[in-house]
Amino acid sequence: MSHITTHDFLANEEEAMYWLSVFEALPDSIGSEIQGEPSVFIVKQIKAFAKVYRPIVISGRIEELIIN
């Protein structure tokens, strides 16, 4: 009997699709009732990135500029 095991990633993808349909159907106001949140540090990093990220166009191409 074969003992080859692989993780069922297809099941993971289907589960992700299922949760997406569940969460998309939830009203945005549900956010205040949910306890799971990313760490304060991660949120601060994202907000900091938003402040410094600047795309500029050089020779017709969008280049990224981070002003520190």
Partner 1 sequence: MEKQIVLSDEQLVKEFIVGNSISIDILIDRHKAKIFSYILMCVKQQVLAEDIFQEAFIRVIKTLKNGRYADSGKFSSWVMRIAHNLIIDYYRKQKNHSVISNDNYEYDLFNSTQFSDPSIEDQMVVNQVMQEVSMLVELLPDNQREVVVMRHYRDLSFKEIAEETNVSINTALGRMRYALMNLRRLAEERNISLTLS
Q: Are the CB atoms for 51 and 66 separated by under 8 Å?
A: no
**Tokens at 61, concatenated:** 């191409």
Query: ∠ CA 28-32-35 to the nearest 5 degrees?
Result: 115
Per-residue binding string, partner 1, 8-47, x by CB under 8 A, is: -x--xx-xxx-xx--xx-x-x-xxx-xxxxxx-xxx-xxx
Distance CA 51, CA 42 (A): 14
CB of 27 to partner 1, least distance (A): 9
Q: Does 60 bind partner 1 (CB under 8 A)?
A: no
Q: Which residues bind partner 1 (CB under 8 A)?
A: 2-7, 9, 12-13, 15-17, 19-20, 23-24, 26, 28, 30-32, 34-39, 41-43, 45-47, 49-51, 53-55, 62, 64
